[in-house]
């Protein structure tokens, strides 16, 4: 191998190592700031419109980080207890959660209020979002089968719990909470998921 070829090979190897080092450093900083991995999620549906559009990229943090003044012991601020605090265009926190009864991607919806085990939460619910129920007996997940958050997509006319999307969201189901979003950047991730 000629000296020029060896020099070029070393330069390519050094460039590749520098690129990998930069990617690792950026990833480490993002993890240190957010406390979760991955520190971003792509919005897959229109349930949070107009706040979040399909294809937006949401930067998320661990639920205990950057809590508002009315945060509960898990670091989540519900819309009903927000006291003027809000994230992503509305009162309270937007949480990313996994519902064990549901397969697929995590759900990213706003935490509206917290319920206790056995609570008749119909009395605290907004009539507009109970999916036509006139009492706790007619409302799914009421009384609450366990403590957790009642959640709703900003664009949905029902609570997730009223439609059976999830029972009240237990705090340990919450993976992260949204801090801000970057429009359209999530499209890259959604397209990559299609290829895999």
**pTM for the whole structure:** 0.84
Cβ-based neighbour number of residue 51 at 10 Å: 19
Q: Per mean pLDDT, which range of 39-43, 131-135, 173-177 is the poorest? A: 39-43
Q: How does the average pLDDT of the chain come out, rounded?
A: 89
> What length is written for the chain?
196
DSSP β-ladder status, 94-97 and 174-182: antiparallel
Q: Which helix (H) or strand (E) holds 25?
A: helix 3-34
Q: Per mean pLDDT, which range of 9-18, 84-93, 120-129, 142-151 is the poorest? A: 9-18
pLDDT digits (tens, 9 = 90+) for 42-101: 999 999 999 999 999 999 998 888 777 889 999 999 999 998 999 999 999 999 999 887
The rounded distance, in Å, linking the Cα atoms of 181 and 177 is 12
């Amino acid at each position: 191998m000629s000296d020029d070829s060896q020099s070029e090979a070393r330069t390519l190897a050094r460039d590749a190592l520098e690129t990998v080092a930069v990617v690792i450093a950026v990833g480490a900083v993002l993890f240190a700031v957010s406390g979760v991995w991955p520190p971003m999620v792509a919005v897959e549906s229109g349930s949070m419109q107009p706040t979040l559009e399909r294809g937006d990229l949401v930067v998320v943090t661990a639920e205990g980080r950057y809590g508002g003044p009315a945060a509960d012991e898990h670091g989540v601020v519900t819309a009903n207890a927000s006291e003027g605090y809000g994230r992503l265009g509305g009162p309270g926190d937007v949480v990313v959660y996994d519902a064990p009864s549901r397969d697929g991607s995590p759900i990213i919806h706003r935490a509206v209020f917290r319920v206790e085990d056995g609570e008749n939460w119909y009395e605290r619910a907004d009539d507009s979002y109970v999916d036509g129920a006139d009492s706790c007996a007619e409302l799914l997940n009421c009384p609450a089968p366990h403590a957790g958050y009642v959640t709703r997509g900003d664009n949905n006319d029902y609570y997730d719990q009223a439609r059976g999307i999830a029972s009240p969201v237990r705090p340990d189901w919450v993976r992260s909470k949204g801090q801000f979003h970057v429009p359209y950047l999530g499209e890259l991730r959604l397209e990559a998921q299609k290829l895999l």
